[in-house]
């Protein structure tokens, strides 16, 4: 629809109709069932109000969408179509690995492909908007929603967030109805919830916010993301959903976002629970002044906003909010086709293949003492709580059917003819497992979380395996069996007490529909591991929150002062993680040459070229991930000792060597100063080529002048 015609529609709406466009409900209000991802408050609306509503969240199928849309348009005075939104987080019906697992691929193109595939499947069911990607910066795996994140590095998260937006939205939503609008979340600071407890208070400095929390949101906005979602938490002492200064200054002005801002589920009314609003009218007023355009699942706007607009003469602001919603509907082409996307043809075979490839690239080999790959002729015993379960999809796979997923036992049975599987009950019988171990050449122990134990509202204070799982590992260790531990989880786990009792460890996360097939292929060597940790595996919960980006302190612990008392250290644990950010093994071995720099000095406008030769020294083809880190030697505000700068995924045949190039602009070395402006300082910089944030293999120095 042309802009002038859209403005004509806006001009003819009553205040009540305008307010309706800013309210969102579940399908239950239309007599249909829907996805429930938050507390259900008891409220109702008149039939007139119902047919003025602007959007619906949580529908399941195209038939449901079509019925609701048709019924709605039949009652709507202006025939403004409904927006349908849903949590399409890592697939719709075909489930891909959870986002944290996908981040282990370090592959922006793979992310873009899976997002586009998920959009296609969702659009075919009538979905217009996905509440994804999650751009929250995270350092605490006690928080269950690290599952939805891109891990602990802000630069990696920014790149992958951009890829999600590009994949979901494509190039033109109106012309490409197989794509959906993206909603980046949660603005801002949600990942820093105190104690790792969901919905909890957040207190971070503005320097920290601008340096680490905003870049991924800026990346999404640079890709023209259509919506932003506010976070549940407070920041600067005020809940974000009602934080006018924070939202208008940081999001609307500094990040230059002019799209739709939507609250999270019931967050407007929850301003009352935060005790910053006395009632729903005050809550609605605070959210409205903070330019929140859509009130998700409360009647705060619906019942109170018209009175607020009249009392405060705020019609112009109301029009701005409604205009953003109408423009989004127009960008999607809904006025021309309220049923957009529902005739999309979905190639489920290609989606399944992509799910398999994504799972291959997302699993991470943490340890391997020459027991992997398994030989198909070996007698393999499979045990553990995750051995036969089809609970491998992870949280937010609400449309995915677990029965269509492949369990680890399903996958391994097709590759290992002499596989024996013991159920949890059978494995608890000491004599039975002892007999099975005597016959086995190697044993695979599959353990970890259920889908309900990670994700929203799934915070954990203890990240160890369960007592029964640890007991099983101990029994197998005592029998001196060659054991491979496969952990399923939506977060890094504490494996310190079991790592030395097994010969190999694989973190399988939740890998989606093709979990079993992918893991079996990796275990057998038919596929090679290429994943690397996007989030460190800590040694202890006491280290949390943790990031490899350790800041410089006045009394740092070093190799030289390990035994000194007055340094920044623990008495009872090492400072570093069990497995660091960027760590990941494969069946291949690689060597690296020294870094070669195009020049030793860099000025504004110039580009520094860095080269290194990588050689596959093994007899197995595979992927290697050279990681380039840097350190700014002297800064105005404290900076990390090590920061990820660049990475490349390179495939090399057995014995093959290649020279890779990194291009570095001075602006890429900028940081946020005390005045909250990001700029690059002159001075010395150190570059580190690494296999992980802990394993540095080459170093060089240059200067910005």
Residues labelled catalytic: 264
Classified as helix, coil or strand, 322 is helix
| The two three-digit tokens of residue 453, written as one number | 């134990």
Q: Which helix (H) or strand (E) holds 221?
A: helix 215-222
Residue 64 and residue 70: Cα distance in Å, rounded? 10
Angle at CA of residue 90, ends 325 and 393, nearest 5°: 140
| The two three-digit tokens of residue 211, written as one number | 């340096």
| Radius of gyration from C-alpha coordinates of the chain | 26
Neighbour-count burial for 214-252, b at 16+ CB within 10 Å, e otherwise: bbbbbbbbebebbbbbbbbbbbbebbbbbbeebbeebbb
Residue 352 and residue 405: Cα distance in Å, rounded? 10
**DSSP secondary structure, 45-87, as one string:** --HHHHTT--EEE----HHHHHHHHHHHHHH-SS-PPPEEEE-
Which single residue is written with the structure tokens 């589920």? 265
Strands (E), 63-221: 83-86, 129-130, 181-187
Cα dihedral: 316, 318, 319, 325 (round 10): 150
Classify residue 596 as exposed, middle or buried by CB count within 10 Å of its CB (0-12, 13-18, 19+). middle
Residue 285 and residue 421: Cα distance in Å, rounded? 60
Contact 416, 376 (CB under 8 A): yes
Contact 342, 62 (CB under 8 A): yes
* Bridge partner residues of 444 (DSSP): 382, 484
Residue 53 and residue 16: Cα distance in Å, rounded? 10
Which of 281, 319, 295, 283 has the alpha carbon at shortest distance from 14?
A: 319
Residue 166 and residue 226: Cα distance in Å, rounded? 11
Neighbour count for residue 32 (Cβ, 10 Å): 18
| The two three-digit tokens of residue 599, written as one number | 């020049």
Strands 55-57 and 23-25 come out as parallel
Strands 627-632 and 129-130 come out as unpaired
Which of 214, 132, 116, 216 has the alpha carbon at shortest distance from 173?
A: 116
| The two three-digit tokens of residue 157, written as one number | 């998260």
Residue 204 and residue 616: Cα distance in Å, rounded? 44
Angle at CA of residue 406, ends 400 and 410, nearest 5°: 160
Cα dihedral: 623, 625, 626, 632 (round 10): 180
Residue 358 and residue 379: Cα distance in Å, rounded? 29
Neighbour count for residue 373 (Cβ, 10 Å): 18
End-to-end CA separation in angstroms for the chain: 52
User: CA distances (Å), 217 to each of 133, 198, 534, in order?
Assistant: 10, 20, 18
Which of 621, 626, 695, 698 has the alpha carbon at shortest distance from 661?
A: 626
Contact 56, 27 (CB under 8 A): yes
């Amino acid at each position: 629809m042309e802009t002038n015609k859209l403005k004509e529609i806006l001009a003819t709406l009553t205040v009540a109709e305008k307010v309706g466009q800013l309210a969102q409900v579940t399908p239950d209000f239309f007599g249909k069932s829907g996805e429930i991802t938050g507390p259900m408050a008891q409220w109702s609306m008149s039939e007139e109000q119902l047919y003025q509503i602007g959007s619906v969240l949580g529908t399941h199928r195209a038939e449901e969408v079509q019925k609701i849309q048709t019924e709605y348009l039949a009652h709507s005075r202006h025939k403004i179509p409904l927006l349908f939104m849903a949590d399409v987080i890592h697939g719709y019906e075909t489930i891909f690995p959870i986002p944290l697992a996908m981040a282990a691929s370090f592959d922006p193109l793979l992310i873009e492909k899976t997002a586009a595939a998920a959009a296609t499947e969702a659009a075919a069911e009538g979905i217009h908007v996905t509440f994804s990607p999650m751009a929250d910066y995270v350092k605490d795996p006690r928080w269950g929603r690290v599952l939805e994140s891109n891990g602990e590095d802000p630069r990696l998260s920014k790149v992958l967030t951009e890829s999600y937006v590009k994949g979901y939205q494509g190039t033109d939503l109106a012309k490409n109805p197989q794509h959906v609008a993206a909603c980046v979340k949660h603005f801002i600071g949600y990942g820093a919830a105190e104690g790792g407890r969901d919905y909890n208070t957040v207190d971070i400095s503005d320097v920290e916010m601008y340096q680490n929390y905003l870049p991924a949101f800026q990346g999404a906005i640079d890709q023209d993301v259509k919506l932003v979602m506010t976070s549940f938490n407070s920041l600067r002492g005020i809940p974000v959903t009602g934080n006018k200064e924070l939202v208008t200054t940081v999001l609307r002005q500094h990040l230059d976002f002019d799209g739709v801002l939507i609250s999270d589920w019931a967050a407007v009314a929850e301003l009352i629970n935060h005790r910053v609003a006395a009632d729903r009218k005050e809550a609605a007023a605070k959210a409205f002044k903070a330019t929140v355009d859509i009130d998700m699942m409360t009647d705060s706007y619906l019942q109170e906003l018209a009175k607020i607009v009249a009392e405060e003469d705020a019609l112009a602001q109301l029009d701005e909010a409604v205009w953003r919603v109408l423009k989004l509907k127009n960008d999607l082409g809904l006025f021309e086709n309220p049923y957009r996307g529902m005739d999309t043809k979905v190639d489920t075979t290609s989606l399944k293949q992509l799910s398999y490839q994504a799972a291959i690239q997302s699993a991470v080999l943490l340890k391997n003492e020459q027991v992997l790959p398994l030989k198909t002729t070996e007698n393999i015993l499979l045990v553990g709580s995750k051995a036969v379960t089809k609970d491998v999809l992870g949280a937010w796979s609400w449309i995915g059917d677990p029965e269509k997923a492949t369990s680890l036992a399903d996958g391994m049975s097709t590759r290992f003819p002499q596989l024996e599987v013991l159920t949890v009950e059978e494995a608890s019988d000491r004599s039975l497992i002892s007999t099975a171990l005597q016959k086995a050449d190697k044993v695979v122990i599959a353990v970890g979380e259920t889908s309900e134990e990670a994700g929203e509202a799934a915070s954990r204070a203890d990240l160890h395996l369960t007592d029964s799982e640890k007991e099983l590992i101990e029994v197998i260790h005592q029998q001196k069996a060659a054991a491979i531990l496969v952990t399923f989880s939506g977060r890094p786990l504490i494996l310190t007490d079991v790592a030395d009792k097994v010969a190999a460890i694989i973190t399988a996360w939740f890998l989606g529909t093709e979990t079993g097939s992918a893991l079996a292929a990796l275990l057998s060597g038919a596929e090679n591991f290429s994943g690397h940790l996007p989030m460190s595996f800590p040694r202890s919960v006491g280290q949390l929150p943790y990031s490899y980006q350790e800041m410089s302190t006045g009394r740092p612990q070093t190799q030289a002062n390990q035994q000194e008392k007055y340094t920044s250290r623990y008495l009872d644990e090492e400072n570093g993680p069990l497995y660091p950010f960027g760590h990941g093994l494969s069946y291949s071995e690689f060597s690296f040459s020294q870094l070669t720099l195009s020049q030793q000095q860099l000025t504004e406008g110039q580009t520094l070229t860095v080269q290194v030769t990588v050689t596959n020294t093994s007899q197995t083809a595979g992927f290697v991930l050279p990681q380039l880190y840097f350190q700014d030697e002297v800064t105005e505000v404290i900076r990390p000792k090590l920061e990820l700068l660049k990475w490349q995924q390179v495939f090399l045949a057995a014995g093959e060597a290649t020279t890779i190039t990194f291009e570095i602009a001075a602006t890429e070395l900028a940081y946020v100063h005390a005045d909250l402006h990001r700029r690059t300082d002159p001075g010395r910089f150190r570059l580190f080529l690494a296999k992980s944030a802990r394993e540095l293999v080459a170093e060089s120095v240059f200067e910005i002048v």
